[in-house]
Amino acid sequence: MFATRTRLAVRQGTVLQRQFGISAVVANKAVDPIQKLFLDKLNEYKVKSKAAGGKLVDPSPAIQKDIATELDRVRRVYGGADGADMTKFPTFNFPEPKVDPINS
């Protein structure tokens, strides 16, 4: 009796594992119309983002003005040069220190 139940439980566990693995593939598809619209918008944004080349997608003139204002403020606060790109990480050049040799 116990052996029969154990075999049945093991067999059902295998079936559940198989069905769960299959359901993960099925869940990858958009079944809900709202989910489908959301995924379509994400794909559309991805295409626009690649076309923009890393810049903002469909920026309005007000947004572009705000970004320029903030970059100017950052340039003033942190002492950037007039033509410096404040969106890049700065490069540091540390000269090799000159050490006097010790005379014995």
Q: In the chain, what percentage of residues exceed pLDDT 90?
A: 24
Report domain extents, the chain.
1-32, 42-77
* pLDDT above 90: residue 38: yes
Is residue 57 within 8 A of residue 45, CB to CB? The reply is yes
Query: What's the angle, vertex CA 29, arms to CA 25 and CA 34, rounded to 5?
Result: 145
* pTM of the complete model: 0.42
The span from the CA of 18 to the CA of 62, in Å, is: 54
* pLDDT above 60: residue 23: no
- Burial class from Cβ neighbours inside 10 Å (0-12, 13-18, 19+) for residue 75 reads middle
Is residue 75 within 8 A of residue 86, CB to CB? The reply is yes
pLDDT attached to residue 16:
55
* pLDDT above 90: residue 1: no
For 40-68, what is each residue's pLDDT tens digit?
999 999 999 898 887 888 889 999 999 88
- Residue 5 contacts by C-beta under 8 Å, 6 or more apart in sequence? none
